Copies of this chain bind each other. A is one copy, B any other.
């Protein structure tokens, strides 16, 4: 009756951590700074190939609502550390071009351009023949726009500017699509592998990386949107966890007094077994996660309802996130 076309499914996210859930062997480490977790994954050539990702370092910073001042400051601290770490392999004297991808006029896609607004640019000082404080690198910036409004491939604009400004390395910032409700506006991913087609908000058709541009590319991404398919498939998993929790506590009289929507199963990490899943969700309960996603995509796409959505507070959140990235970049690019 129903046919799952797995081959059609395209990964819509760069959140490497999630792709690796089923893989056991790769280098992974975690650091904690005031509750902010930095997860570092180093993929060697072989593992990278297995999961269709690129060889290199992937750092993911996990945090909560950055409109809270304490969270903001802690996350800023962790991001600065992670950025400095990635910059270890770059020479102190190297000049950088920072590129803010995305559309300044679409709030959830404006992360890149808004971050650029926060960056301390120094290259014009050198260009004007003035002396540059040796505390600073040579920093330039570019907001290339999106193909829909420029008519030009973003990668071509970047290439053209690189040929003239001749930076030694690139930092690119982009808004991404989340692969889970949990991480929307709550994750920063850093990598030295660049940006790839199919990731991000699908604005770019071409890879932006050392392989394609000839200079190192550090990519910074934050998921600011999520599609309806992900919301539904995530919720189905939460339903299983919820039922598992309720079942486990079926005789807990104290819990009966708590209204259902206040019963906190956040830390209940068990879920239903196959039979239970089928009982609760029938045929759907029998499918694995990728199959569920494929089905939902098939259901929503013909109707035009597989919307990419963003939380309604996005204006405030993107403003904070771009301010955070700007400060972290300014700090981590300082020499001395």
Binding site for B on A (CB under 8 A): 1-3, 5, 8, 105-109, 116-117, 121-124, 127, 138-143, 145, 147-153, 156-157, 159-165, 181-182, 184, 201, 225-226, 228, 231-232, 234-235, 238-239, 242-243, 246-247, 250, 259-266, 278-285, 295-303, 305, 307-316
Q: Contacts of A165 on B, CB cut-off 8 Å?
A: 151-152, 156-157, 160
| CA gap between A263 and B281 in the complex, in Å | 24
Are A305 and B106 neighbours in the complex by a CB distance under 8 Å?
A: no
Q: Contacts of A232 on B, CB cut-off 8 Å?
A: 231-232, 235
Q: Contacts of A184 on B, CB cut-off 8 Å?
A: 307
Are A149 and B161 neighbours in the complex by a CB distance under 8 Å?
A: no
The binding surface of chain A is classed by DSSP as helix
Excluding A160-B165, A264-B302, 12 further A-B contacts by CB distance (< 8 Å) are A106-B313, A127-B147, A127-B153, A140-B151, A141-B149, A142-B150, A143-B143, A143-B145, A181-B228, A235-B296, A282-B283, A309-B311
| CA gap between A138 and B159 in the complex, in Å | 21
Q: Contacts of A261 on B, CB cut-off 8 Å?
A: 5, 8, 297-298, 301-302
Per assembly, the copies of the chain total 4
Q: Contacts of A138 on B, CB cut-off 8 Å?
A: 151
| CA gap between A108 and B156 in the complex, in Å | 30
Are A1 and B247 neighbours in the complex by a CB distance under 8 Å?
A: yes
Sampled A-B contacts (27; CB under 8 Å): A1-B247, A2-B246, A5-B259, A5-B260, A107-B107, A107-B315, A108-B312, A117-B149, A123-B150, A123-B151, A124-B152, A140-B151, A141-B151, A143-B143, A152-B165, A161-B161, A181-B305, A182-B305, A261-B298, A263-B302, A279-B283, A281-B282, A282-B282, A282-B285, A309-B312, A310-B310, A310-B312
